[in-house]
């Protein structure tokens, strides 16, 4: 009877470790060369109803990597509803660290601006202490997060679901999941260098 609580505790610890590995870099990691400098952006499609005459949505998401290992990640959305225009901008800033092809973005602050027909309705700047791991996929020349994220709204699914051992990029299943989430026709998870 005493073995059950111990087993349960070990299982919970194991599951917790599995869940959060994609918010850090491997232990004893070292800074690799920084060849990510510049602007990376998602290839986005409008999220409007097909042939809708009253609703159109255009959005973009970009990450700008600076030489000093800081970044700016920007999400912008324009929602045309009838004759009204709702605008949303979410901008996160922080620093990033690199280990081999792994990139950890550590966001420290977010600014959110909402406008309706050009008039500012909300402008909030708040601390935001969170890390999210990305991977540079050489064959596709793209960067992809381990979980889905749009405008700092995260969903607990993505490439990480194809990882059986944290940080193991030697497994073919890992690359299969990258292809699944990077080359989706609608709402790809990947960022590509600006042309």
From residue 1, alpha-carbon distances to 11, 14, 159 in Å are 16, 21, 38
pLDDT at 50: 66
Alpha-carbon span 168 to 174, nearest angstrom: 8
Higher pLDDT, 2 or 98: 98
pLDDT at 60: 95
* pLDDT tens by residue, 171-181: 899 999 999 99
Q: Is the confidence at residue 166, as pLDDT, over 90?
A: yes
Does this model's pTM top 0.75? My answer is yes
Q: Is the confidence at residue 13, as pLDDT, over 60?
A: no
Q: Which residue carries 């026709």 as its tokens?
A: 185
* pLDDT tens by residue, 101-122: 999 999 999 999 999 999 999 9
pLDDT at 120: 93
Mean pLDDT of the chain: 87
**In the Cβ-directed half-sphere of 57, how many Cα atoms lie within 13 Å?**
12
* pLDDT tens by residue, 26-81: 887 777 677 889 999 998 887 776 677 788 889 999 999 999 999 999 999 999 98
Sign for the CA dihedral angle at 29, 30, 35, 36 comes to: positive
pLDDT band at 10 (very low <50, low <70, confident <90, very high): very low
Alpha-carbon span 190 to 105, nearest angstrom: 15
């Amino acid at each position: 009877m005493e073995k059950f609580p111990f087993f349960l505790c070990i299982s919970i610890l194991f599951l917790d470790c599995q869940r959060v590995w994609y918010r850090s870099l491997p232990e004893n990691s070292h800074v690799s060369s920084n060849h990510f400098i510049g602007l990376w952006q998602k290839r986005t499609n409008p999220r409007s109803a097909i042939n809708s005459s009253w609703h159109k949505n255009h959005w973009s998401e970009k990450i700008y990597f600076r030489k000093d290992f800081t970044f700016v990640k920007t999400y912008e959305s324009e929602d045309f509803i009838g004759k009204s225009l709702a605008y949303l901008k979410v901008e996160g800033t922080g620093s990033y660290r690199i280990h081999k092809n792994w990139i950890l973005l550590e966001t420290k602050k977010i600014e959110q601006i909402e406008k309706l027909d050009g008039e500012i309705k909300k402008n909030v700047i708040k601390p935001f202490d969170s890390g999210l791991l990305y991977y540079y996929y050489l064959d596709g020349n793209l960067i992809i997060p381990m979980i889905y994220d749009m405008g700092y709204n995260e969903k607990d699914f993505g490439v990480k679901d194809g990882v059986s051992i944290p940080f193991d990029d030697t497994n073919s299943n890992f690359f299969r999941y990258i292809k699944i989430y990077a080359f989706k026709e609608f709402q790809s998870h990947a960022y590509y260098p600006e042309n």
